[in-house]
Structure 1
Amino acid sequence: MIGCLKIALALAFLSAVADRFGLWGAPGSEGVFWGNFENFVAYTRLINPWFPKVLAAPISYFITGLEIALAILLFTKWKTKEVAFISGLLLLTFAVAMTFSLGPKSAFDYNVFTAAFAAFALYCLLRRRH
């Protein structure tokens, strides 16, 4: 079960990153949410209206880099418990931001709460092991 949770979380992160770089298709294509990085920066501004607009691009790059790093680390055995916890915090942050900015439906439609608590479940499973 631990391996499946790690793979599912890693692939979810990589899928979102792939969408930001147009790897799932162009903006407006079926099943594509962003389609390019500019749309992701605009979405970052939308769900984080309390941040100055000038920070949207740096935050977008930071989050994208963090998601890539977490995905890669989830494919390894290095500090998996800590990586799972950080993944849960990141996903929960997304879910809360989406909920306050767009309403709860968006976070539920994209299963962000589910992914967050899957990461926390992974953390708990690993913690129980040690």
Structure 2
Amino acid sequence: MNNTFNYLPQLLLRLALSITMLSAVADRFGFWGENSAWGNWENFEKYTRQLTSFLPESVGGFSAYAATFLEILFPLMLIFGFKTKWAALGTGFLLLIFALSMSVALGVKAPLDYSVWIGSAAAFILAVQSDYKYSVDTLIKKS
């Protein structure tokens, strides 16, 4: 398929991954109200400790902060198309870690229900694209 037809779906994939991840961050800060998984930071930390129960407890607490930082950084990079390949790889690995942790701690159904495997695979597909037309990367390349 001609690369020209690849640009719009690629942009939509960048936005879908970004919005999904930013929505999860908004949830842990209570922005979704009653339609939420966690609703507040304390519940999110408890959930993170559950997912990382096979690690030392100090790592579980740190994981909540690290995940939140990366779930803000990578989506913003994807939205603007800045270092898109690296942001997509980071997103893919982050979601893969989430999927594996969820599988170990909660069973294989949990990451399937939340489409974490799909998100990870989609991010890796985005990472192997040859260029990103609607992006800061393209503007930098042209100058």
CA contact (8 A) 1:81 1:126 kept: no
Equivalent residue pairs, number: 124
Map 1:1-130 to 2 at 5 A: 1-25=9-33, 29=34, 31-126=35-130
Q: Structure 1 unaligned segments of length 5 or more: list them.
A: none
CA–CA distance in 1 between the matches of 2:36 and 2:81? Answer: 31
Scaled by the length of structure 2, what TM-score is found?
0.82
Larger radius of gyration: 2
CA contact (8 A) 1:84 1:120 kept: yes
Unaligned segments of structure 2, at least 5 residues: 1-8, 134-143
Give % identity.
Answer: 41
Q: CA RMSD in A?
A: 1.4
Deviation at 1:126, TM superposition (A): 3.5
Question: Deviations along 1:55-74, whole A, 9 cap, x unmatched?
Answer: 32222111101110111101
